[in-house]
């Protein structure tokens, strides 16, 4: 029996949608290199990105100016000569061409191998301005053999200080691993290889009356950013361990970026129930937090001697 024309058309649409879903994102189409010039390289016809951090040294004239430059005076036998010795530390970064208001964002990342102390690799969402919103993955490098620290944070209306930190249960430098943020009007879920590690819920209706500083990121569209930069003044053991530039260049690799808009545009209690983690996901979340979470701002009594912020209760 002949298949009706409208069914054939429907099958064609479904097949086309499936084919499109299999097409990987392209870094040429989805991102702009915002700083670092050729230290950010798009490879494999747009399928992979490499970010590089290195240091360039030399001498320069007095007319030259740059960031991260160190200046010295040299006294000769007959006069004072100002010589500019510089060490220009250069990382790089990218920014998505599109902004999102609620989305699921995924990126596969292979982090800097070996002695990565002092380096920070980032993957995050952020809006613009002094009262910006932000959702952070930051990977703090460490000495060879020591684990990376995954640093997470949430900013709303310019206010952050909601850090949670984790060790990973694998070596993130040997292969690519998937890091994702699911951001809806109800909650933010941070996940690693499909395992939730942190859930930040929208409690603004409840807590806004208690604490005027509590906000949830819900009204500002955010771009997606990644970068690799030097932060050896704080990143590794509070700045005690400095970057070993003999190991440079440091390279982090990225692939399989994906962004999909989510449906909810305002807080919805029913939708929040539907978005709740399934039992196996909840068990995995608790396993990660019990075994691999190393810092939670909610438990920092030195930082909050009068008691934790209201969302922690």
Catalytic residues: 134, 138
Alpha carbon separation from 8 to 17, 128, 150, 154, 278 (Å, rounded)? 14, 47, 49, 47, 37
Calculate the dihedral angle through the C-alpha atoms of 96, 51, 119, 292, rounding to the nearest 10 degrees: 70
Give residues with Cβ within 8 angstroms of 218, minimum separation 6: 156, 185, 202, 204, 266, 267
Query: In terms of C-beta density within 10 A (0-12 exposed, 13-18 middle, 19 or more buried), how is residue 221 classed?
Result: middle
Element (H, E) at 59: strand 48-60
Residue 96's CB is within 10 A of a number of other CB atoms, namely: 20
Find out whether the peptide bond into 249 is cis, omega within 30 degrees of 0.
yes
Q: What are φ and ψ of residue 142, in 5° steps?
A: -150, 175
Rg over alpha carbons for the chain, rounded to the nearest Å, is 23
Q: Are strands 103-110 and 92-100 parallel, antiparallel or unpaired?
A: unpaired
Give residues with Cβ within 8 angstroms of 274, minimum separation 6: none
Would residue 156 be called left, alpha or beta, if left means φ above 0 and alpha means ψ between -120 and 50 degrees? beta
């Amino acid at each position: 029996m002949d298949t009706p024309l409208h069914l054939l058309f429907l099958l064609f649409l479904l097949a086309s949608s499936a084919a499109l879903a299999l097409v990987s994102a392209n870094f040429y189409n989805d991102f702009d290199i915002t700083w670092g010039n050729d230290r950010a390289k798009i490879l494999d016809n747009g399928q992979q990105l490499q970010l590089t951090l290195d240091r360039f040294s030399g001498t320069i004239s007095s007319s030259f100016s740059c960031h991260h430059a160190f200046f010295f005076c040299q006294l000769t036998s007959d006069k004072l000569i100002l010589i500019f010795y510089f060490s220009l530390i250069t990382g790089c970064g990218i920014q998505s061409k599109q902004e999102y208001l609620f989305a699921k964002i995924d990126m596969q990342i292979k982090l800097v191998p070996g002695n990565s102390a002092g380096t920070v690799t980032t993957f995050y969402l952020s809006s613009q301005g002094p009262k910006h919103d932000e959702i952070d993955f930051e990977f703090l490098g460490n000495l060879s053999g020591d684990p990376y620290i995954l640093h997470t944070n949430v900013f709303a209306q310019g206010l952050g200080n909601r850090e949670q930190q984790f060790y990973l249960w694998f070596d993130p430098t040997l292969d690519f691993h998937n890091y994702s943020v699911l951001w809806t009007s109800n909650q933010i879920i941070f996940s690693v290889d499909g395992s939730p590690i942190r859930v930040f819920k929208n409690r603004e209706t409840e807590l806004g009356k208690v604490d005027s500083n509590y906000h949830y990121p819900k009204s500002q569209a955010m771009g997606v950013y990644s970068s690799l930069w030097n932060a050896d003044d704080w990143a590794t053991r509070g700045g005690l361990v400095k970057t070993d530039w003999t190991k440079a260049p440091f390279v982090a690799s990225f692939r399989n970026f994906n962004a999909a808009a989510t449906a909810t545009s305002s807080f919805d209690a029913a939708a929040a129930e539907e978005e709740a983690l399934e039992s196996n996901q909840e068990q995995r979340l608790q396993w990660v937090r019990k075994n691999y979470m190393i810092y939670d701002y909610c438990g920092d009594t030195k930082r909050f001697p009068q008691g934790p912020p209201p969302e922690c209760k």
